[in-house]
Structure 1
């Protein structure tokens, strides 16, 4: 337990502005044209928060992820200054894995080159589809041509990059879905996020569902056939929606899924850390609205109770397809009612959702397609 929680935390930096809010997006993002503060105001607030949280990085830093929103819309000179400030603050010269999300409509070759020069070493491209019809349905503002160009630009400077591709889109045929995937693979990406469109509360799609949503059996078939193509291309399925070549797994996300410590800075960012003696898991959430966040001066921490521990651990750890040691769960989470835990695990085995062997369990193929049902058992 001590080894797990004494590893350095990951850092998440949230840049919340977008050109347009996508109808399926439930992230803390805002249309840039309606904002009430400048990039410089936000930059200064990030510096202030990083200073206040400096002590969390005394043992180092495991990874950095710059997400949003659309980070590629943020003033690039200010981002350059922020990363140099971060280097000086925590006393490192070269970053570990450092990812930034890009949307194709805001990418230029010069911008990609500058990201490389400032020490970013991994790019995640929010492509979603190469099909113009489906991009329009998804409310994306980029074109398929812009997506092609953005990937080409990224490949000139980066050998570590991800392409996001969605399936289960309204009125999408199996052929449409697989063509998107095959097109992405022509760029020989080391990592692909192949994930299903989900209708989340508080989104435009939730308020007014798009027409011709696919039935579950068609979505599952798209997922299955896509997985076959990805694995034939040498990609291994290491997480619910993530496929990579060997040694190109996303370190930042794997830390989340392993229930590691992470520190988030920026509007609406979340943090989780652990204290060993006495054992506590603490969580903190920043104010959501950027104009409120820049005025925030205190970042309060709340202890997670044991029931939440178990649910959050399973919500994250089950996304990885490696066996989970039952004794490790009991130790990490200080489980009092071991019998209840074993009862839940036994029920999932009976339903064919997990396999159990030698005090370890893991998702079956059936369980992988019903991940939400497995996790809900631990609520």
Structure 2
């Protein structure tokens, strides 16, 4: 099985923390959609496997009309084999949608929504330069819950000026709606963003890392108590509602990226990516040429990437998979390298799977990098 990810590179305005590729020149949307359709045709012969996920991300794909989304779904259906229980997700901003819009999406094949709430505090939304209000956010969830069994709410913690109390209010408000899935990310300072400029010029002070850790640790406990599985560092789901798109990525399965800046992976060693430039992308596609650059991961880098992605998950790092994929030398290395973390109770063995302990979850990426096999 494989998945398709559409990167729709348009937004009404930039969020202060975002470094994704996008444009606010909305008049070029139609050209981009035609480019998507052409890239689908060009990609089809490369991917014989059936699809179990179609994901519309961005950018702000909720700027698209239901008719435009339906046209893209039809193009995928025409050119690819679809799995019987395919998950089709679209990311939506609360300010873009109405009940009628969400209802129309449910009739064209969309069976999962990811709602970009980020915060239930207007002051935090303003700080992040989000367009929607708290009221719009809550209405969008209420409408979604009436129309969709499967949906996700996005939140951000570690926001400047927040504390543990305000974060508790935020998360508890999200849990009130009983969404079957939540994606909850720490605010990070990415290069060349407004937030990075604000931090550099001391207009905004980032939270102390201990406070961010307290927010994360409390969140993990609260979500577990509410019946959610922390199946990946930043993702929580009720039983049966793990996101297929997310899970495919963390399990190293194949995926196809459509659109500018979109990435693809063949499920083995080859990664490719389209240019982060709308004009270059369209010029190439219109000539019938895939604009992607690619690289083949060597065994060393593929092993490190497997450690990084798998250690973040509830299923952990499998010695069996390492032996089968990379060889016994790599599993022997890992068993030796992990000894100090076992002594410190940061990780543990669950059968042949290496997993992070609950108390050390916030440190997961650091633990993974410490386990990397370094080049001589």
Contact 1:199 1:205 in 2 (8 A): yes
2: CA distance between counterparts of 1:75 and 1:32? 17
Where 1:142 maps in the other structure, the secondary structure is: coil
Deviation at 1:341, TM superposition (A): 3.5
Query: In structure 2, do the counterparts of structure 1 residues 20 and 333 end up closer, same or farther at CA, with 3 Å as the change threshold?
Result: farther
Answer yes or no: is 1:20 the counterpart of 2:7: no
Deviation at 1:72, TM superposition (A): 0.3
Aligned to 1:81: 71
Answer yes or no: is 1:90 the counterpart of 2:83: no
Contact 2:217 2:362 in 1 (8 A): no
Aligned to 1:295: 283
Query: In structure 2, do the counterparts of structure 1 residues 207 and 306 end up closer, same or farther at CA, with 3 Å as the change threshold?
Result: farther
Per-residue Cα deviation, 1:319-349 (whole angstroms, up to 9, x for no partner): 2122422231132235755544333333433
Per-residue Cα deviation, 1:138-190 (whole angstroms, up to 9, x for no partner): 11111111101111221221111001111111111212111111111111111
Where 1:130 maps in the other structure, the secondary structure is: coil
Answer yes or no: is 1:108 the counterpart of 2:98: yes
| TM-score normalised over the length of structure 2 | 0.90
Aligned to 1:346: 339
1: CA distance between counterparts of 2:177 and 2:334? 45
Uncovered stretches (5+) of structure 1, i.e. residues with no partner: 1-7, 275-279
Contact 2:307 2:317 in 1 (8 A): no
2: CA distance between counterparts of 1:201 and 1:366? 30
Contact 1:170 1:211 in 2 (8 A): yes
Uncovered stretches (5+) of structure 2, i.e. residues with no partner: none
1: CA distance between counterparts of 2:353 and 2:314? 12
Answer yes or no: is 1:223 the counterpart of 2:193: no
1: CA distance between counterparts of 2:223 and 2:121? 19
Equivalent pairs, count: 364
1: CA distance between counterparts of 2:303 and 2:52? 24
Aligned to 2:191: 201
**Equivalences for residues 38-49 of structure 1 within 5 A:** 38-49=28-39
CA RMSD of aligned residues (A): 2.1
2: CA distance between counterparts of 1:116 and 1:199? 35
Residue 282 (structure 1) aligned to one of 232, 248, 270: 270
Answer yes or no: is 1:117 the counterpart of 2:110: no
Contact 2:157 2:212 in 1 (8 A): yes
Deviation at 1:370, TM superposition (A): 0.5
Where 2:308 maps in the other structure, the secondary structure is: helix
Per-residue Cα deviation, 1:191-237 (whole angstroms, up to 9, x for no partner): 11122212223322223315232212211212222222222222222
**Equivalences for residues 107-186 of structure 1 within 5 A:** 107-186=97-176
